[in-house]
Amino acid sequence: MCENKILCNTGTVDLSIYDISEEADKPEHIEESKLKLTPDNADSGLAKLVLTLVELIRKLVEKQAMRRVDGGSLTDDEIERLGETLMKLEMKMEELKKHFNFTDRDLNINLGPLGDLM
Amino acid sequence: MINRVVMEKMIYTIVFEKNNPGKLNALLSGIKTIDGERLYAVVFDEISSVVSDMNRVDLITDKSHAIAFAGVIEILEQHFALLPMRYGSMMESDLSIQKMLEKNYPEFRQNLLKVENRSEFGLKIYCDAKKLKKELGIKSEKETVQRPVSEIKSSVFREYVDKKLKEHRIEELLLSYVDSIIAEFTEVLARLNAVNKFKKMTTETNIIDAVFLLEKDKKGELVQAVEDLQCKHPGLNFTLTGPWPPYNFVDMTIK
């Protein structure tokens, strides 16, 4: 970005340890998070798509569950069962990611101007 | 076999020329284009389309071309109300451009009036996400009413839920903190009569990514408002940029 376009750049927070947004907007990052389906990688491309959607749904379920726990509408036994289910789901996801050699960063889709899916 | 080179027209922007007839052509003669072709205007009534000849096979989408394309729009934006076109917008001939201007004239005019004498500004607000979450976590623990230990069955699953619940509460607190900053700044923007669009939590550190459409002569007031907000929130970094052409405030689909 041109220096003369920066009207104000203030603050003393050290962000050097983070991959800040200018970096995240770089073409390499966008390329990484695009879904690339070709005849050679149809299996892993499809696995990435499916696992990304499963991960999205898992996170939504987890969020909703936490809202209910926080709202106090669940009994201790229900919370116990919920914990067991969510824990097993997370473990299964980790297993699948390992099987297909995916990292957390792989399980995302760049939606262009809308940003990343997760 | 001889390949015929078909020159098409690359459209940079749609300009409102109503009060400056003749000024546009004079300005265009002094502006460099992507590949050295001359810029000229295709006119319909009060609006003009700024174009240059371009061979479609020469159209390369890279940083330098995109910057050169944006450079043309930025120079013109200092003199005219305009609607920036997307890089790579091409049509076959001047005649087809003129027909397109005619067909879309009411929408172009309406959008041009909306952005007249206004520029776009961008504001990004960053935080140290780890530090902020830690601070919010402490606040959350203080605010949470603890149930007596005897009431809670301790198990690995219960501990897992507690951990997730803590993370969830911190996320919720972070979101309400971001909302409070947006509300604070929206109030200032309303006083400046600015149109705004906010995006929250675009990355871990970029908690607010906003764009505003503001009257050009209110730039100083906007800078002051951002500096005031910075004083109130020393734990955040603010980056205000502009003036830009109204990239985010043109709302139309060309027929």
CB B29 within 8 A of CB B73: no
Q: Is the pLDDT of residue B150 over 60?
A: no
pTM: 0.80
Provide CB contacts within 8 A for B93, sequence distance 6+.
Answer: B8, B9
Residue in chain A lying closest to B199 (CA): A114
* Alpha carbon distances (Å) from B134 to B137, B188, B197: 5, 29, 29
The ipTM value here is: 0.76
Mean pLDDT of chain A: 82
The number of CA neighbours under 13 Å toward the Cβ of B188 is 17
Residues from chain B that touch A11, judged by Cβ atoms under 8 A, are: 126, 230, 234, 236-238
Tokens of A90: 């997370």
Provide CB contacts within 8 A for B55, sequence distance 6+.
Answer: B5, B6, B7, B8
Tell me if residue B15 falls in helix, strand or coil. strand
The 10s digit of each residue's pLDDT in B175-186 is: 999 999 999 999
The 10s digit of each residue's pLDDT in B66-83 is: 888 999 999 999 999 999
What is the C-alpha separation between A7 and A1, in angstroms, rounded?
12
Handedness of CA B232, B198, A51, A80 (dihedral sign): positive
Q: Is the pLDDT of residue B145 over 60?
A: no
Q: Is the pLDDT of residue B98 over 80?
A: yes
C-alpha distance from A70 to closest chain B C-alpha (Å): 7
Q: Within chain B, what is the greatest distance between any pair of CA atoms?
A: 89
The number of CA neighbours under 13 Å toward the Cβ of A109 is 17
Q: Does A86 touch chain B (CB under 8 A)?
A: yes
Residue in chain B lying closest to A115 (CA): B202
CB B181 within 8 A of CB B125: yes
134-173 of B, contacting A, C-beta below 8 A? 152-153, 155-161, 164-165, 168-169
The 10s digit of each residue's pLDDT in A98-107 is: 998 998 888 8
Phi and psi based region of residue A98 (left: phi greater than 0; alpha: psi -120 to 50; beta: remaining): alpha
Tell me if residue B144 falls in helix, strand or coil. coil
> φ and ψ at B69, to 5 degrees?
-60, -50
Q: Is the pLDDT of residue A60 over 90?
A: yes
